[in-house]
Structure 1
Amino acid sequence: MSNTQDIINATEDYVKALLTGEGSGHDWWHIYRVWHNAKAIAAHEQADLFVVELAALLHDVGDHKFHNGDETVGPRMAQQWLESLKVAPENIASICLIIKELSYKGAGTSSAMSSLEGCIVQDADRLDAIGAIGIARTFAYGGHKNREMYNPEIMPELHDTFEAYKASTAPTINHFYEKLLLLKDRMHTRTAKEIAQQRHQFMESFLAQFYAEWDALR
């Protein structure tokens, strides 16, 4: 395909067919929100919108969490799809690098992005991990992985390596301290930083209410 909008439309259809009905919070509607958040952020940046849109659409087609921790699946699937549409090799390389670098890797590790386009897509993805939707997705994923909702005897752990972070089976509440509450200060763009402030505050309010209800049981 030579028309950029046709490529985006075809990619939308491909990802929608692949992820519709997925139950862990990584479904088509997650992709849809990240895609639209990325476009909204990119409107304020001097970025390649074509690369941003395709990376946002394809960022979870082969998430390592659902492929035994294999971080190569997502970029490989994206590359195969984009090559089938005859996307320019330089754009494929940029998009696949974004997908490779995108994931949160633990509190004590770096998640640096190599491009502005990557920063935008990472911000958009992280915005969907916080706030009310982020809370809902977190518990959906915890249930999907058969994790306890909360266990006061298991303390959060600030992982120093990606391998340790990937191996964690901690209760869902711990994930707020191991990732979600840290994301506000890891946003790259001004737009994302502004949105993250309110969503962060909502998570803090949720946790305060959660603990108030828990403590009332004593």
Structure 2
Amino acid sequence: MTDSEIVEETITFVKETLQHAEGGHDWFHIQRVFNNTMLIAKEEKVNILVVSLGALLHDIADAKFHDGDESLGPQMAQDFLHSIGVPKRTINHVIKIIKYSSFKSGLNNGTVKGKKTKFSSKELQVVQDADRLDAIGAIGIARAFNYGGFKNRLLFDPSVPPNLKMTKEEYKKSTAPTINHFYEKLLLLKDNMNTETGKQLAKQRHQVMLDYLEQFYHEWNPLSFKNSM
């Protein structure tokens, strides 16, 4: 099976698996991340098959939709890739991308129970940037509120301040209003991009979020508009 055939088989598998997924984590999210990945990869020396598969499978079973089970996604990806004959070395790299690309994987300073969990590769950096780009800007705003609605969260509550020092477990269990998510994650992503392309693309999307928040607070209370957060 050629690399292009492997990618096409993976696209079919992901589409079928995520056909009923929440709107911010569905096939179209995967497609956007894949496209972002291909764009960033043009300027980086990476294994194209690895970044393609990493992008396509990074959210195949997002833990927050599976009772917090972080092992399910990597296992599903491994089983699928093995079934279509992908080399073990490639599978292992893709699995590590799935495990370490998320924002929450960087919390707790990259440790779990005192043990280092860090992994890095240029391929991981490319997929991570591609995924983070889809979490910010106009689409990032839409995804944030779509997920907030899915979880029945408040839009905003001035009495609930953002938690800027969350541990990984606190992040996973958070039920805070959606606006808090901007400060707890989305506005932090611009300065955590890995690649030059990712950094440049993030700047404009970051500004979109700042402009949106200013307008949000103005509409929330136009008599005493004050962005105090």
TM > 0.5: yes
Q: Aligned residues, how many?
A: 217
Letter in 2 for 1:118: L
Q: 1:203 aligns with which of 209, 217, 221?
A: 209
SS in 2 for 1:45: coil
Aligned to 2:173: 167
Structure 2: any 5+ residue segments left out of the alignment?
Answer: 111-117, 225-229
Q: Retained in 2: the 8 A contact 1:35–1:124?
A: yes
Residue deviations 1:124-175 (CA, integer Å, cap 9, x gap)? 0000000000000000000011111111111100244211110100000000
Aligned CA-pair RMSD = 1.5
Letter in 2 for 1:69: G
Letter in 1 for 2:76: M
Q: Retained in 2: the 8 A contact 1:107–1:182?
A: no
User: After superposition, where does 1:97-112 map in structure 2 within 5 Å?
Assistant: 97-105=96-104, 109-110=108-109
Residue deviations 1:2-35 (CA, integer Å, cap 9, x gap)? 2111110010011111213423410100000000
Separation of aligned partners in 2, 1:24 and 1:144: 9
- Provide the identity percentage: 53
Residue deviations 1:162-218 (CA, integer Å, cap 9, x gap)? 111101000000000000000000000000000000000000000000000112266
Q: Retained in 2: the 8 A contact 1:75–1:99?
A: yes
User: After superposition, where does 1:75-114 map in structure 2 within 5 Å?
Assistant: 75-105=74-104, 109-110=108-109, 113-114=119-120
User: After superposition, where does 1:27-176 map in structure 2 within 5 Å?
Assistant: 27-105=26-104, 109-110=108-109, 113-176=119-182
Separation of aligned partners in 1, 2:149 and 2:123: 32
Aligned to 2:14: 15
Letter in 1 for 2:208: F
1:69 deviates by: 1.2
TM-score under structure 1 normalisation?
Answer: 0.95
Separation of aligned partners in 2, 1:156 and 1:106: 19
Letter in 2 for 1:72: S
Separation of aligned partners in 2, 1:61 and 1:108: 21
Q: Retained in 2: the 8 A contact 1:130–1:203?
A: yes
Letter in 1 for 2:214: A
CA 1:159–1:66 in structure 2 vs 1: closer, same or farther (change >3 Å)?
farther
TM-score under structure 2 normalisation?
Answer: 0.91
1:102 deviates by: 1.2
Structure 1: any 5+ residue segments left out of the alignment?
Answer: none
1:106 deviates by: 7.7
